[in-house]
Structure 1
């Protein structure tokens, strides 16, 4: 029973993008290296939410609306009465994720912003958005294969 529950939790986490590293690891996206807002979920996983983005919940598709409760727990809001605003996960708008053509314009706008950060990082060969970058230069300072920045 415990194994089946753990497998279900893992599948839900993968489907929702709740694959962030748990504390004490920094709340950094594994793909782009940028710090995000990290919250626990109700199924023992962690989700990275896009910082400073609080769109109106009615404009965000079901399954993409994240709400952080007073206890600090992030819930993927499905059904019921919508809250006025919500949060969006970082994964679909990460600058290193595919362009989110099938999602509302807010996702595309945030993706484009994040992709522009990626282009700047590629051009500067640095990660200016993490505390790790301030102390060690971050993973962006290592040589990497050439990418098309735009």
Structure 2
């Protein structure tokens, strides 16, 4: 396929020949928009580097609890707030209604409230942080005690 290009009224016109017949094929593409005024190198570099080193939004943002030092992951909720989620899943039936969380494919955390008790769910770190109040649910209390023992808070 042979290519040629020409400028016409601010648009680029690409001309090529069809490989089978040799007939010309034309396509009009808009010219790239040129910025008004000078281009600042700092702006170009800032825009180019903005995405480097950012964690994947779907994976959440790894974190460490400031209180106890345990690893957890920050996830944004549908209303734009952030919630610190424990790593790993917990069977639904072991978590009280209202404390069941699900992480959607795009990384958004959703409180499942009174969702059906099958499969697994996630829990917030604050529900089991050993420096917080002990939870009432037996499974969450076990997780809380495990963390408290690790920190030497249980005798």
The TM-score normalised by the length of structure 2 is 0.53
The answer to whether residue 78 in structure 2 is matched with residue 42 in structure 1 is yes
Give 4+ residue runs of structure 1 displaced > 6 Å after superposition: none
In the alignment, which residue of structure 1 is the partner of 2:4? none
User: For 1:96-117, what per-residue CA distance to the aligned partner results, in whole angstroms no more than 9, with x for missing partners?
Assistant: 01221x2x21101110111122
Task: Give the Cα separation in 1 of the matches to 2:117 and 2:105.
Answer: 16
Question: Which blocks of at least 5 consecutive residues in structure 2 are unaligned?
Answer: 1-60
Matched, 1:115 2:115: no
What is the Cα deviation at residue 94 of structure 1? 0.5
- What secondary structure sits across from 1:106 in the alignment? helix
Matched residue, 1:70: 105
Q: Give the deviation of 1:89 after TM superposition.
A: 0.8
Partner of residue 51 from structure 1, selected from 87, 96, 100: 87
In the TM superposition, what is the alpha-carbon distance from 1:80 to its structure 2 partner?
4.7
Q: How does 1:1-150 map to 2 (within 5 A)?
A: 27-52=63-88, 54-82=89-117, 84-100=119-135, 102=136, 104-119=137-152, 150=155
d(CA) in 1 for partners of 2:121, 2:151: 25
Larger Rg: 2
Is the alpha carbon distance of 1:26 and 1:78 closer, same or farther for their aligned partners in structure 2, counting shifts above 3 Å? closer
Q: TM-score, normalised by structure 1?
A: 0.55
Kindly provide the CA deviation profile for residues 52-111 of structure 1, in whole angstroms up to 9, marking residues without a partner as x.
3x22213321110010011111101024545511011110210101221x2x21101110
Whose helix fraction is larger, Structure 1's or Structure 2's?
1
Query: In the alignment, is the contact (CA less than 8 A) between 2:62 and 2:73 conserved in 1?
Result: no
Superposition RMSD on alpha carbons, in Å? 2.1
5+ residue gaps in structure 1? 1-24, 120-147
Q: Relative contact order (C-alpha < 8 Å, sep 6+): which is higher? A: 1
